[in-house]
Amino acid sequence: MPRLIKRILLPVYLLTPPGVLFLLWATANENLQVGAPLAPVYASGIFAILFLVPVTFARSLPSRRS
């Protein structure tokens, strides 16, 4: 995949899953929101770690081009 396309898709790749979590949390009933107010924040942190690890490793590995 060309580098320009990778640079364009990276923010979408990183920001979409937490956005879905916040949307689901916002549609939950009020009792669940009061009971776990930081759930979307914690879930976003986990997603950020899980999505940044492959990106970090991909940048640190040498390319396999001949």
Nearest alpha-carbon partner for 55 in 15, 10, 18: 10
pTM: predicted TM-score of the whole model, two decimal places: 0.50
Helix and strand numbers (H, E) in the chain are: 3, 0
Residue 52 in any domain: the answer is: yes
Per-residue pLDDT tens over the stretch 3-59: 777 777 777 777 777 677 777 777 888 888 888 888 777 877 887 788 788 777 777
Structural domains in the chain (count):
1
**Residues spanned by the domain of 17:** 3-59
Residue 66 in any domain: the answer is: no
Residue 61, pLDDT > 70, answer no
| Token pair for 10 | 């990276």
